[in-house]
Amino acid sequence: MDQPSEGGMTRPTWKNEINITAILALLMFAITVGGVVLQHGRFTQRVEQWIASHEDLHKHRLADLTASSARLDERIKSVEAESRSIDNLRYRMTVQEQERAADSKVQEDTRK
């Protein structure tokens, strides 16, 4: 079985035997690989679900932001319209004051 080699040491021969320890080791290795693959699949699935939900969050946030921007634009337009009417009122008041001053001057001139 063992063959003597140089130096008086015997060289072990290869025995092709399958025993319970080898079977258990291969089984445990297969279980470990299967567990890693399964866990990676679950992790990948959770990440993909998170990505999908996060994309939905961004879509909803964009819709909310667009609606808010539209409301803000409408408010700005109404404030601008109000500002134009206030400017128009200022102009009218200035014109009336000038007319009153002119009327007062005319009345003073007619009294003299």
Give the pLDDT score at 84: 84
Give the pLDDT score at 89: 83
Summarised one tens digit per residue, pLDDT across range 27-45 is 999 999 999 999 999 999 9
What totals of helices (H) and strands (E) does the chain contain, helices first? 1, 2
Residue identified by tokens 């667009």 is 66
* CA-CA-CA-CA torsion sign (76, 78, 79, 83): positive
Distance CA 86, CA 78 (A): 12
Summarised one tens digit per residue, pLDDT across range 47-106 is 999 999 999 999 999 999 999 999 999 999 999 988 888 888 888 888 899 999 988 888
Residues near 22 by Cβ (< 8 Å), separated by ≥ 6? Answer: none
**Is the overall model pTM greater than 0.85, yes or no?**
no
Give the pLDDT score at 7: 64
